[in-house]
């Protein structure tokens, strides 16, 4: 079965393409390389011995997308392509709405024009806004606190409306919690340009000596040690969740929505302790003020994904740091 993977050279997309190949799927990557590099395609070949088809194309260019789909004839789509930096989305909302919404509309139109009914969409725990309690269940109220989150919520709404109009579609909305870590080979991982915004990439750069210390954003949250609590999931586990979702779509379930997390919340100080253990030295940090917009706690209730698609994360926090650090060291060589 052939799968069109938009954003397939990106962080989560590349790990998912590896899993697709390992599970006997053919994949066709479409990516405009705005946040990834073409050499990822070769890295995927080094890991799997299979070179996936790759097209450098932009979802904003509907004509090119349409040509690729007509030529490759995929049977299902996994849609990762999108811009994802929360802070940048506040500064450049039109860029985010245009890229994420228009790009998705083009993709859905091309799918419709070619009779493709199955899609897996990368949503995010950000659609829960400031949750009233944890763990978070899929039926909790949804809201957006920034333009990036608004694009995720809008795309979810578009997919729900599309399903109402065409109940022969099969749609899996996957709400990721905090993906971290890298492929165990050290060949693919997350390598953000400039100073990272997210916790784990920032910690990696501190450990590598590129940044002096970690700024812990607030120690007065309503959590066990006062620092923010999140649900970190190994990117390899997350990639596996897409295979489970595709298998579910093959059973023609209509529209389904699942949290993909571990169900375990770790604080920033838990993260510092675990990474220091992996490094064999203390990771330097300083307690600083809160980052605007951050919430106290965010972790998943994973029971629905477990029950309906048999999804359960297998890797622990130590694996996430060991693999992430291995990738960081490999990337620097
Ligand atoms: P990423 O930036 O590494 O990958 C996204 C890829 O999409 C990049 O390779 C980029 O070049 C490509 N892209 C962007 N706009 C495009 C366009 N118009 N046409 C073609 N290609 C385009 O990000 P990621 O971390 O792998 O995230 C993948 C998806 O998962 C995104 O939709 C993101 O919003 C979502 N998500 C990510 C996280 C996270 O923390 N990483 C959490 C929740 C949800
Ligand atoms: N965080 C931090 N220092 C940093 C980056 C993040 O203390 O340099 C904290 C942040 O306040 C939050 C947690 O780490 O409690 C995870 O932040 P991240 O940006 O990785 O994910 P998100 O906030 O989107 O869940």
Q: Which residues line ligand 1 (CB under 6 A)?
A: 7, 9-13, 31-36, 58-60, 80-84, 99, 103, 122, 124, 176, 179
Burial class (CB in 10 A: 0-12, 13-18, 19+), 310: exposed
**All domains of the chain, ordered by start, with CATH?**
2-180+232-262 (3.40.50.720)
Helix (H, G, I), strand (E, B) or coil at 257: strand
Give distance in angstroms: CA of 82 to centre of ligand 1: 4
Mean pLDDT over residues 269-291, rounded? Answer: 98
Which residues fall within 8 angstroms of residue 310, CB to CB, at 6 or more apart? 244
Residue to mutate, 35, 98, 182, 241, ligand 1, most ligand atoms under 8 Å from C-beta: 35
Express each pLDDT in 142-199 by its tens digit: 999 999 999 999 999 999 999 999 999 999 999 999 999 999 999 999 988 889 999 9
Q: What residue has token string 């080979």?
A: 185
Our answer on whether the CB atom of 217 is closer than 6 Å to any ligand 2 atom is yes
Atom of ligand 2 nearest to the CA of 196: 8
151 near 97, Cβ under 8 Å?
yes
255 near 185, Cβ under 8 Å?
no
Express each pLDDT in 300-328 by its tens digit: 999 999 999 999 999 999 999 999 999 99
Q: How confident is the model at residue 330 (pLDDT cuts 50, 70, 90)?
A: confident
Residue 71 has phi, psi (to 5 degrees) of: -75, -45
Nearest to 144 by CA among 130, 124, 158, 127: 127
Task: Please compute Rg for the chain using Cα positions.
Answer: 19
Q: Taking the CB of residue 79, how many other CB atoms lie within 10 A of it?
A: 24
Residue 124: the pLDDT is 98
Nearest to 326 by CA among 212, 196, 203, 204: 204
Strand arrangement of the beta sheet that strand 266-267 belongs to: 266-267, 229-230, 297-298
d(CA 286, CA 276): 15
Residue 86: the pLDDT is 94
Nearest CA residue ID for atom 25, ligand 1: 11
Residue 297: the pLDDT is 98
Residue 202 has pLDDT above 80, yes or no: yes
- Give the DSSP H or E segment for 27: strand 26-31
Residue to mutate, 88, 145, 294, 296, ligand 2, most ligand atoms under 8 Å from C-beta: 294
Cα–Cα separations (whole angstroms), residue 205 to 2, 200, 321, 328: 37, 9, 13, 8
Tokens of 161: 């409306």
Helix (H, G, I), strand (E, B) or coil at 48: helix
Q: Please give the model's pTM, rounded to 2 decimal places.
A: 0.98
Atom of ligand 2 nearest to the CA of 229: 15
238 near 176, Cβ under 8 Å?
yes
End-to-end CA distance of the chain: 37
Q: What residue has token string 């992430």?
A: 324
162 near 77, Cβ under 8 Å?
no
Give distance in angstroms: CA of 257 to centre of ligand 1: 19
Nearest CA residue ID for atom 4, ligand 2: 199
Our answer on whether the CB atom of 268 is closer than 6 Å to any ligand 2 atom is yes
Express each pLDDT in 205-263 by its tens digit: 999 999 999 999 999 999 999 999 999 999 999 999 999 999 999 999 999 999 999 99
Give distance in angstroms: CA of 192 to centre of ligand 2: 15
Our answer on whether the CB atom of 202 is closer than 6 Å to any ligand 2 atom is yes
The ligand that comes nearest to the alpha carbon of residue 269 is: 2
Tokens of 49: 């011995």
Give distance in angstroms: CA of 113 to centre of ligand 2: 41
Residue 333: the pLDDT is 64
| Active-site hit among 11, 96, 128, 148 | 148
Residue to mutate, 17, 32, 62, 80, ligand 1, most ligand atoms under 8 Å from C-beta: 80
Give distance in angstroms: CA of 225 to centre of ligand 2: 15
Nearest to 30 by CA among 65, 1, 63, 2: 65
Identify any residues that bridge with 118 across adjacent strands, giving them in sequence order: 76, 170
Residue 192: the pLDDT is 80
Give distance in angstroms: CA of 223 to centre of ligand 2: 14
How many residues are given for the chain? 333
Per-residue 3-state assignment (H helix, E strand, C coil) for 86-114? HHHHHHCHHHHHHHHHHHHHHHHHHHHHC
Q: What residue has token string 């969409």?
A: 121
Mark whether 148 is an active-site residue: yes
Express each pLDDT in 102-125 by its tens digit: 999 999 999 999 999 999 999 999
Calculate the average pLDDT of the chain. Answer: 97
Nearest CA residue ID for atom 11, ligand 2: 217
């Amino acid at each position: 079965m052939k799968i069109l993977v938009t954003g397939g050279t990106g962080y989560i997309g590349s790990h998912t393409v590896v899993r697709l190949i390992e599970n006997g799927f053919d994949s066709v990557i479409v990516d405009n390389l705005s946040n990834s590099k073409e050499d990822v395609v070769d890295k995927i070949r080094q890991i799997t011995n299979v070179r996936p088809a790759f097209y450098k194309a932009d979802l904003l260019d509907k004509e090119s997308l349409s040509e690729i789909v007509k030529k490759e004839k995929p049977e299902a789509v996994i849609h990762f392509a999108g811009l994802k930096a929360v802070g940048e989305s506040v500064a450049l909302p039109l860029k985010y709405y245009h890229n994420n919404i228009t790009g998705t509309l083009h993709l859905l139109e091309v799918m419709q024009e070619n009779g493709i009914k199955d899609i897996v969409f990368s949503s995010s725990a950000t659609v829960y806004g400031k949750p009233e309690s944890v763990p978070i269940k899929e039926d909790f109220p949804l809201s957006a606190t920034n333009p990036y989150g608004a694009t995720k919520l809008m795309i979810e709404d578009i997919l729900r409306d599309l399903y109402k109009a065409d109940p022969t579609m099969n749609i899996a909305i996957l709400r990721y919690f905090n993906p971290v870590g890298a492929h165990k080979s050290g060949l693919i991982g997350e390598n953000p340009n400039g100073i990272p915004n997210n916790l784990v990439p920032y910690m990696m750069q501190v450990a590598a000596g590129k940044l002096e210390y970690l700024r812990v954003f607030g120690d007065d949250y309503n959590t066990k040690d006062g620092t923010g609590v999140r649900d970190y999931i190994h990117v390899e586990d997350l990639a596996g969740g897409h295979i489970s979702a595709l298998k579910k779509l093959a059973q023609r379930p209509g529209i389904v929505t699942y949290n993909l997390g571990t169900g375990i919340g770790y604080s920033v100080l838990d993260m510092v302790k675990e990474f220091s253990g992996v490094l064999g030295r203390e990771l330097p940090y300083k307690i600083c003020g809160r980052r605007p917009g951050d919430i106290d706690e965010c972790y998943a209730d994973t029971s629905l994904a477990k029950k309906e698609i048999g999804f359960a994360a297998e890797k622990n926090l130590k694996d996430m740091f060991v693999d992430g650090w291995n990738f960081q060291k490999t990337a620097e060589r």
